[in-house]
Amino acid sequence: MSHHKLEVKDLHYIYPDGHKAVNDMSFCIYHGESVGIIGANGAGKSTLLMLLMGVLFPCQGEVIVGDVHVTKKTLPFIRQRLGMVFQDPDDQLFMTTVYDDVAFGPRNYKLEEKEVENRVLQALDIVGILHLKDRAPFKLSGGEKRAAAIASVLSMQPDILVMDEPTAGLDPKSRRRVMGLLKSFEHTRIITSHDLDMVFDLCERTIVIKDGEIAAQGLTSEILVNAELMDSCGLEVPLALQNCPVCGIRKTVKQPRKKGNDETP
């Protein structure tokens, strides 16, 4: 299944104002993997995702999906393979009803209306908001919006899901639901987040970014516990791995997450 591989080689990106947002990044993500990308505010995570999706084009280096290079010409193909969920669902849900929004992508690929309908209903069913299909996006709650945004990408049946902060601004229950949803996917997943507990929970592998460069990459269970590394990158060890504030007992890495960690102050 090598065509689901996503490879980044010597990636450089400089914003028109001269800001070097991505500086010599290289990594490879394999089929079915779930990879977390973490880093402080302004580290360059969103920029990196834009480069992966071909919204921005690198000044140097390349992005390869399967064995196709991301260029202007291959964009239609790339965008069928990769689906991206935006940081702010309001940017993504631009149609007047949830149904039309989820149908937007398939319709642009000129599918039969019957097939469009199948895909829309299936995508809405997967994220569990079939009952909201005729609602206007502005009448959804934050969690429902997020689910709708994910559905709007699923209806394109991508192989790789790219998500920018999927749990930002959600209440604990909605966050759990979205996490459960993401966990259930078999797609290759690339997730950026400041929610390190989620990354710890969902991603086997983690890439840490600092000032546009890769500071470290490896198994999540090794990276997130490295207090020194985390600190130098403007991050901290997830709460789930910190000493228990009540009894002071240090949790071990292998220890499974307990329910109720969200409530730890």
Ligand X SMILES: Nc1ncnc2c1ncn2[C@@H]1O[C@H](COP(=O)(O)OP(=O)(O)OP(=O)(O)O)[C@@H](O)[C@H]1O
Residue ranges that bind Mg ion, judged by CB under 5 A:
46
Q: Are strands 82-85 and 6-14 parallel, antiparallel or unpaired?
A: unpaired
Stretch that binds another protein, among 94-102, 124-132, 199-207, 217-225 (CB under 8 A): 94-102
Q: Does 139 bind another protein (CB under 8 A)?
A: yes
Stretch that binds another protein, among 30-38, 58-66, 150-158, 253-261 (CB under 8 A): 150-158
What residue has token string 């790339």? 78
Alpha carbon distance 257, 264 (integer Å): 12
Q: Does 116 bind another protein (CB under 8 A)?
A: yes
Angstrom distances, CA of residue 95 to CA of 98, 174, 238: 7, 23, 37
Q: At what angle do helices 113-126 and 98-108 cross, to 10 degrees?
A: 130
Nearest to residue 223, comparing CAs of 21, 8, 35?
A: 35
Which of 7, 62, 88, 211 binds another protein (CB under 8 A)? It is: 88
List residues near ligand X by CB under 6 A.
Answer: 15, 17, 19, 21, 39, 41-47
Alpha carbon distance 67, 59 (integer Å): 20
Residue 42 binding: pick among Mg ion, another protein, ligand X, none (C-beta 5-8 Å cut-off by kind): ligand X
Dihedral angle computed from the Cα positions of residues 23, 28, 32 and 35, in that order, rounded to the nearest 10 degrees: -40
Q: Site residues for another protein, window 19-78 (CB under 8 A)? A: 50, 53, 55, 75-76
Which of 10, 28, 42, 113 binds another protein (CB under 8 A)? It is: 113
Q: Does 110 bind another protein (CB under 8 A)?
A: yes
What residue has token string 């992508």? 105
Give strand pairing partners of 34.
Answer: 189
Q: Which residues contact another protein by CB under 8 A? A: 50, 53, 55, 75-76, 79-80, 83-84, 86, 88, 90-97, 100, 103-105, 107-110, 113, 116, 134-139, 152-153, 156
